[in-house]
Structure 1
Amino acid sequence: MTAVAVTGLGLVTAAGIGAQATWAGVCAGRSAARRDPNLAGLAVDFSCTVPGFDPALHVGTRSRLIHDRFVQLALTAAREAVADAGHDPAGWDGARVGVVVGCGLGGVATWERQQRAMTENGPGSVSALLIPMLVPNMVAGNIAIDLKATGPNLVTATACASGATALGIARDLLLADRCDIVLAGGSEAGVSPLIVTGFAQMGALSRRTDDPAAASRPFDAGRDGFVIGEGSAVLVLEREPDARARGAHIRARFAGYGASADAHHLTAPDPQGTGVIKATYDALRDAGLAPEDIDHVNAHGTSTPLNDEIEANALGVLFGAGPAVTSTKGVLGHALGAAGAIEAALSVLTLQQGTVPPTANLEHQDPKIDLDVVAGAPRHGRLKAAVSNSFGFGGQNAVLVFAAA
């Protein structure tokens, strides 16, 4: 099978704007969670949001008028990724360039803001751009407009697996020769009072309001829920022979993809991890690798009591205690539909740099979790292959396998 190469990536996260800032932040292992003035008065009043993001500066002066934040973050990441890959959209064959982006929620901030306007000031106060600002497909549509990509244009919505699913679909498009280049990733800006309240009502969020920076603690015995975050990641994918022919710098090979459904519960994972195990075996088979070939796992690792234990059990069945495991949600929080793409990009950087970032706030590993979880400081060494896990409400599972270039 023809290999798929990652030739560029862009990141906008709570650790900073740009891949370099994000990588430095996750390697430092310090949580980005902080009290959020937009959540003041709520039961959970902290989050992981992108610091210093200015739509006028990072996207354009008209952006505030025509884009929701989830689109603004994605445009910023996509432009960085394309530049990193050495492409010039003015010169490429746009009909052979696809865009696939994962997004779970869409423009929730626009929705809430416009609902308030209508309630307080009547229908005439609602923006004529309400619909194109809030519908999820517009994240891919706007990237296509901005970068002149006229090939297949899709948005995947598999909850917190959305970004990983988008990458898998993008790989399929390349292998089916539907595209020569695909810009693939995820974007989410769901830190709004209504969404945060909804997650809090479910009991999914950490309640460490006295110490937000210590709240997201994947695999720790004291974990009590996730910290909501936002962000975007876009990866440029090409068939490896095409990338080499143009002299591109290949960051890593996107070797395998597996997906499954738990078919178990609206929000709770299957206690046996059956779907996770199946998706992982499928991804490994797709990559032509065995479990013992995997050196690193970027875990879904949400910091919720149930998810972390079930994921750890599944990883134990799959890999034993072998691979070095991390969850970057300890630093970045949980960016929902963007998380899988962000973690895929970080998996690529892990392989490229030979460095596994630490899991923030892991002070006392849960004794039920028998994994080699990296904590305290980054771990350095030669890494040949990595797995990136993403799971979502509805029992959605997406597993990606990357190999060193």
Structure 2
Amino acid sequence: MEKRRIVITGMGCISPVGNSVETAWDSVKKGRSGISEISLFDSSDLNVHIAGEVKDFDPAAFGIEKKFLRKMARFSRFAVAAAKQATEDSGYNKESLKKEKCSVVFGSCMGGMEALSEGFNKLHSTNADRISPFTIPLMLTNEAAANVSMSLGLQGFSWTMGTACSSGTDAIGLAADLIRAGRCSICITGGTEAPITKFSIASYDSLQALSRQFNGCPEKSSRPFDRDRDGFVMAEGSAVFVLEELEHAKERGAKIYAEVAGFGSSCDAYHITAPLKDGSGAAIALKDAIADAGITPEEIGYYNAHGTSTFINDMAETQMLKSVFGEYAYRINISSTKSMTGHLLGAAGALEALFCVKALNEGFLPPTINLDNQDIDAGCDLNYTANKGIEKDIEYAASASLGFGGHNSCLILRKYTDL
């Protein structure tokens, strides 16, 4: 039986590098960092003072009424805003979507962290009676999917993936599988995250996971595969897609951005935070995605790396690429857009998939910035598209996400052709 083809017909994003698809893409094309000093709280007593914050975000600009804001956590606001961008981009609206068999699948790692932090602070500074009754619903990771469903009046599946930093990628893969299985015709899917709180920064820093050495020059802090990398930079935002079955999209005359050609997912089954050093667990996800797409590894023209700027991840991911691609690993174009956005955790894979779609459509591969001294001694000796993007027409792009708990996932995206 021929596999049903799943295509992307709408996209939206809220991110540290721009609050629309075009502004975000323009930033990464130009190698412009969205990382800056933390403004959301006073970080002066922490070791880390930098993050990839969303700037100039106005919920009202996306039709989110003020009366709903106190019932909607920051990560949900991002999701609703990006979902509205994506649905409008696809040619749908609330009324037309109600007539369709439409589902929602989102990924989030941290949920409403600011609600948890505020509740905790009130508990210890005043008393339990002062804690908001909205604390629990605001902090739940499923709240974003629920709010997107409510904002669009969708009563189909409304699911949340919680696979750490693989959440957004897994959500898109699951959404495609739902459509292939005939459970829905359309799916609003992606990832969202708003983890920049004092509690979160301090907690990740206690793991020695965050960059500390570049507080004075934030734009230089995220430097995947570079000798001087010292940890990732926490970031926030959301990226959302409208997925449809191909024939459904063609029947309504939709513009088609790209095809979700393959998806793979795996688990290292090794350690709660550290990846397998040889990348063998992640290799399973990439190989499965390639097999699902029905292509050879050499057909992939661009690989958007998880590339967090931590010593272990960058080394392990490079080893994984060598094991899957062999000699071709030295010829494929690789880059980590986290060098500009920071790490959006559960939303990272969705935003990076969006950049892959733009790369397919425009024939331009974004750079890994801050790659001044490639870490050859650690085995990071591949072509990471250092500091300047390149023009190159490609048919397939891969985007991988590797998360705590050993969760790995990969998408293969294809330039759309009506064949």
TM-score surpassing 0.5? Answer: yes
Partners in 1 of 2:68 and 2:359 — Cα distance? 33
- CA displacement 1:74-107 (0-9 Å, x = unmatched): 0010000001111122123456110000001111
The match for 2:26 is 24
Pair 1:212-2:223 in alignment: no
CA deviation string 1:207-233 (max 9, x = no partner): 122222111001111111100000100
- Higher mean alpha-carbon deviation, 55-64 vs 101-110, is at 55-64
State the distance in 2 between where 1:296 and 1:312 align.
Answer: 14
Whole-angstrom distance in 1 between the partners of 2:392 and 2:342: 26
2:55 to 51, 57, 76: 51
The 8 Å contact of residues 182 and 238 in structure 1, kept in 2 or not, is answered as yes
Do the aligned partners of 1:56 and 1:64 also contact (CA within 8 Å) in 2? no
Structure 1 position 238, deviation (Å):
0.4
Partners of 2:55 and 2:175 lie apart in 1 by 29
Select the residue among 164, 168, 172 that pairs with 1:163.
168
Aligned partners of 2:119 and 2:135 also within 8 Å: yes
Partners of 1:370 and 1:111 in 2: how far apart? 42
Q: Name the aligned partner's letter for residue 24 of structure 2.
A: T
Matched, 1:402 2:413: yes
SS of 1:256's equivalent? strand
Counterpart contact for 2:267–2:281, Cα < 8 Å: yes
**1:373 CA displacement:** 1.1
1:118 aligns with 2:123: yes
- TM-score, normalization: structure 1? 0.98
Q: What is the alpha-carbon distance in structure 2 between the residues aligned to residue 278 and residue 334 of structure 1?
A: 23
Q: CA deviation at 1:383?
A: 0.8
Counterpart of 1:11 in structure 2: which amino acid?
A: C
Q: How many residues align?
A: 405
Counterpart amino acid of 1:303?
S
* Counterpart position of 2:195: 190
Provide the rounded CA distance (Å) in 2 between the counterparts of 1:94 and 1:274. Answer: 45
**CA drift at 1:301:** 0.3
CA contact (8 A) 2:97 2:152 kept: no
Alignment match, 2:297: 291
Give the secondary-structure state (helix, strand or coil) at the position aligned to 1:92: helix
- Output the amino acid matched with 1:138: E
**1:248-267 aligned within 5 A:** 248-267=254-273
Letter in 2 for 1:349: K
Structure 1 residues 218-262: Cα deviation after superposition (integer angstroms, max 9, x where no partner): 111111110000010011100111111111111000000000000
Q: Which 10-residue stretch deviates more, 196-205 or 91-100?
A: 91-100
Partner of 1:7: 9
Q: What are the superposed Cα offsets for residues 118-145 of structure 1, whole Å, 9 maximum, x if unpaired?
A: 3323223222222221111111000000
Residues 1:358 and 2:373 aligned together: no
2:307 maps to what in 1? 301
Query: 375, 379, 397: which one pairs with 1:386?
Result: 397
Q: What's the CA shift string for 1:276-332, capped at 9, x where partnerless? A: 111111101100111010000000000001100110111122222122111010000
Identity %: 38
The worse-fitting range, judged by mean Cα deviation, of 254-263 and 110-119 is 110-119
Q: Does 1:40 align with 2:44?
A: yes
Aligned twin of 1:375: 386
Q: State how far apart, in whole Å, the 1-side matches of 2:103 and 2:249 are.
A: 16
